[in-house]
Amino acid sequence: MSSRARLLVIGAGPAGLSAAAAAAEQGMQVTVLDEFTEPGGRMPGQYHEQGRKGWWVGKHVADELIARCRELGVDIRCGVAVHGMEYTTTWGIFTSCGLFTADYVLLATGAAEIPVPLEGWTLPGVMSIGAAQVLTNVHYVKPGERGIIVGMNVLSMAIARELSVAGVKIAAITLPCTNPLAGAAASPTASAKLLLRLAGLAPAAWMRIGGRLAAALRMEGLIARCYPHNGFRLWDIPIRLRTAVLSVNGSDRVESVTLVRVAPDGSPIPGSEHDEPADFVALSGGLYPLAELAAVAGCKFAYSPELGGHVPLHSERMETPLQGLYVAGNITGIESGLVAMAQGRLAAASITHAAGLAGADGERRVQEAIREVHAVRENALIQFHPGITGARAQLYRQWEQTSGRAY
C-alpha cells in the first residue's frame, strides 16, 4: 500500500470503479479512495427494469467492477475522507488517513439529495428517499409498514418501484406543499410534465404510448387541470398529483401526515385537509452534483439546470482546465449509472492517452469512448432532466472558450 499513485480516483461508485478498471487495463497504477466503508457507491441499492433486457441489478454490476479492479491490482481504500487538494508539480490530496500524491486525479464523487423541508420533518421515521432505498435494498430492513413519498421526480418514481417490488407498502406519492424552497416541485403542471417524460417506465403499453403522445403535444397543463384528486395507480401505488403534504404528525415518531388537495397551480384548497396514517415518510427533492472538492481544487464552474445545478467546467473528454484533473459521473451532471460508467471509461481513455500509455491507439480509444457515452445516453430509458444533450454541448463550447483548447 502506497500513498503515491499515478492516478488517484476519488469516489468508488460506477464512474470511479469503471475508470479505475479501464486505466489499470492500460498499465496505470491506480488508487481509489471513498469515504464509505464499502466500494460500489449507490449501485448496491439500485435495480430497475430495462424493457426487454430484463432487470439491471446494481449490486451485481458493482461486484463485477470491484472484482475486476482487484484482479488488475487497483488499490481500493474505503473509509477515507478527502478534505482538500492542491497542485504543485503533482496533486496533493489531503485525507483523514494522511497525504496522497498523484500525477492525475479523477473526481467521481457523484451526487447528493436535495432536502425537502416541511413541518414535522425532524420526527423519527422521516427520511430521504435514498435512505429508504438503502434500508430496503442494501440492509434488507423495511423503512416502515406504510409510507408516504413526498415529491414527484425521476428519483422518487424509480425508488418507489424498487420499494414496491420489495414488499414495502407505499400509501401514495404526493407533492410537497407550496413554500419558498419547494419551487416547481409543488406545481402539478411541472410534475405532470415530468410524469409524461417517464412514460417509458409505465407497466402497460397504452400508458407508454399515451404518455409519449401527450408529451409530444405538451398536454401537461390540461392534465394538471383534469387530473383526478384521488389520482391513479402505477405499480399499485397511488400517484396523487393534486395532493400535497402539509405536515408530518406524531409525538415521538411518524404516526400520520396531513394531506391537502391543491389547485393546478399548487395552491392548497381550503377545507380539503385530512390525515392519512403512515409510519414513515420519504422525502424526494431530486439530486445535485456533489462538486465541493472541485471547488476546493480551484476548478471553474458553470451553472446548468438541465445538468442539476453547478458543475465543474470540463471538456467532452472529461478534463477540467486544471492540469491533470478530470471528472466523471454525476459530478458532471445528473444522469443514470450506465452513463456514469461510460463516462468513467472515457475519463480513463483520456488520462491514459495524456500519460502516453495508450500509444498510437490513444486518440482512437478516446473517440470510441466518446461515441459510447453518446450511445448510452441516447438509449437511456429515462433522463433526470430534459435537454441534457444540448446543455452538455453548450458546456463543452464554454470550456473551449475558457481554456483556449479545442479538439
Domain check: are 132 and 246 in the same one?
yes
Contact 151, 129 (CB under 8 A): yes
**Cell numbers placing 6:** 499515478
Q: Which residue has the cell 476546493?
A: 296
Q: Residue 166: what residue type? A: A
Mean pLDDT of 167-184: 86
Angstrom distance (rounded) from CA 113 to CA 151: 12
Domain check: are 98 and 152 in the same one?
no
Mean pLDDT of 199-213: 45
Give residue 74's domain range. 4-112+287-403
pLDDT digit string, tens, across residues 331-381: 999 998 999 999 999 999 999 999 999 888 999 999 999 999 999 998 876
Boundary of a domain, candidates 283, 308, 323: 283
Domain check: are 305 and 350 in the same one?
yes
Domain check: are 228 and 270 in the same one?
yes
Angstrom distance (rounded) from CA 287 to CA 309: 9
Domain check: are 376 and 300 in the same one?
yes
Contact 76, 136 (CB under 8 A): no
Torsion angles phi and psi, residue 32, rounded to 5: -115, 130
pLDDT at residue 54 in the model: 72
Q: Which residue has the higher pLDDT, 380 or 248?
A: 248
pLDDT digit string, tens, across residues 102-159: 999 999 999 999 988 999 999 999 999 999 999 999 999 999 999 999 998 888 988 9
pLDDT digit string, tens, across residues 265-294: 888 999 999 999 999 999 999 899 999 999
**Number of structural domains found in the chain:** 2
Domain check: are 107 and 120 in the same one?
no
Burial bucket for residue 184 (CB in 10 Å: 0-12, 13-18, 19+):
exposed
Q: Which residue has the cell 492540469?
A: 323
Boundary of a domain, candidates 256, 283, 310: 283
The CATH number given to whatever domain includes residue 236 is 3.50.50.60
pLDDT at residue 106 in the model: 98
pLDDT at residue 359 in the model: 86
pLDDT at residue 154 in the model: 83
Domain check: are 140 and 244 in the same one?
yes
Domain check: are 91 and 39 in the same one?
yes
Contact 17, 65 (CB under 8 A): yes
Burial bucket for residue 92 (CB in 10 Å: 0-12, 13-18, 19+):
middle
pTM above 0.85, yes or no: yes
Domain check: are 277 and 350 in the same one?
no
DSSP state of 404: -
Domain check: are 238 and 295 in the same one?
no
CA angle 401, 402, 406 (to 5 degrees): 50
pLDDT at residue 153 in the model: 86
Given a cut of 60, is residue 306 above it in pLDDT? yes
Q: Residue 127: what residue type? A: M
